[in-house]
Amino acid sequence: MKIISQIDEFRQYRRVLNRNKIGFVPTMGYLHDGHLSLIDKSLEENQATIVSIFVNPTQFGPGEDLDRYPRDFPQDRQILEARSVDCILFPDSDQMYGANYATFIEVKKLGTVLCGKTRQTHFKGVTTVVLKLLNLVQPTTAYFGQKDAQQAIIIKRMVADLNLDLEIKVLPIIRDDDGLALSSRNRYLSDQERQAAVLLHTALSTAQNRIGEGREDSSALKKVIKKILKQNRLIKTDYIEIVSLDHLEPLDKVDPENTLVAAAIRVGGIRLIDNFILGEI
Ligand code: PAF
């Protein structure tokens, strides 16, 4: 397995990587089973798999947890080595954003709703770094997790709008036994906070069951979610939204083929997101 942190060296590696199908999994490291589900899919579907590990500063706003974001390269490296990933691209900020860096890519509208309401520059940072990474790696397929559904929808839009020649695959959310969606940030939850955090999944799956029973009114469904989140005073709800999957526009009624039900909460200092979808991203 190659580990490359210099962009020039990576370009050289990529130039001679003569494979028809190259899978790419961009990550910020501190790998968990959610990442591994993407990596395993890429290993299964491609002749080479490249994983990037880069905690991207431009997607963190002022006061967010850039400095605290968990990092453990030796452990990530061991995990990826055991899986026979072909290459880890592991650049530092100076490599990715040099002294006179000035270029950003922004997907209008989709990045201003849901998480974008409170994290106003977040998706601009995500799309910028993902486009840079896609330019470097030139994969045939890149893999993203449905937990970050809005991110996946925005990246798909960018790829279509900019005529990028690759496929984006979005794979299901991976959960712990208690239902909590896996996230690198979960490690910061105390036992008490974790008990609260689990209610996010309980609330969303209750709403999903209601839909299964024929309820389709968005405001009633949001009330169901809100009521469950209110059961624990450690939870501060950021948003509960029911929107179309393609345009992220609010829906009065769920559409069985085009709906994202998403919520974000804060528990202690930790921001957690989760969702379910009707249809396909
Ligand atoms: O989902 C993530 O971990 C990040 O947003 C990504 C896609 C690696 C870009 O930094």
For residue 22, the model assigns a pLDDT of 98
Residue 149: CB within 6 Å of ligand 1? no
Which has the closest alpha carbon to 229: 246, 206, 249, 254?
206
Domains of the chain are: 2-171 (3.40.50.620), 184-275 (3.30.1300.10)
For residue 160, the model assigns a pLDDT of 98
Q: Which amino acid is at 96?
A: M
Which has the closest alpha carbon to 114: 225, 241, 223?
241
Residue with CA nearest ligand 1 atom 5:
126
Report the residue among 66, 92, 126, 273 best suited for mutation to probe ligand 1: largest number of ligand atoms under 8 A from its CB. Answer: 126
Residue 148: CB within 6 Å of ligand 1? yes
- DSSP string over 178-194: TSPBP-GGGGG--HHHH
For residue 134, the model assigns a pLDDT of 98
For residue 123, the model assigns a pLDDT of 98
Residue showing tokens 């709008």: 161
- DSSP string over 110-124: TTTSTHHHHSTTHHH
Report the residue among 30, 51, 130 best suited for mutation to probe ligand 1: largest number of ligand atoms under 8 A from its CB. Answer: 130
For residue 120, the model assigns a pLDDT of 95
Question: pLDDT tens track of the chain, all 281 residues?
Answer: 999 999 999 999 999 999 999 999 999 999 999 999 999 999 999 999 999 999 999 999 999 989 999 999 999 999 999 999 999 999 999 999 999 999 999 999 999 999 999 999 999 999 999 999 999 999 999 999 999 999 999 999 999 999 999 999 999 999 999 999 999 999 999 999 999 999 999 999 999 999 999 999 999 999 999 999 999 999 999 999 999 999 999 999 999 999 999 999 999 999 999 999 999 99
For residue 12, the model assigns a pLDDT of 98
For residue 158, the model assigns a pLDDT of 98
Residue with CA nearest ligand 1 atom 3:
27
Residue 199: CB within 6 Å of ligand 1? no
Tokens of 122: 């977040």
For residue 45, the model assigns a pLDDT of 98
Residue 184: CB within 6 Å of ligand 1? no
- pTM above threshold 0.75: yes
For residue 187, the model assigns a pLDDT of 93
Can you tell me the distance from the alpha carbon of 114 to that of 241, in angstroms, rounded to the nearest whole number?
7
For residue 188, the model assigns a pLDDT of 94
CA 61 to chain centre: 16
- Cα(9) to centroid of ligand 1, in Å? 22
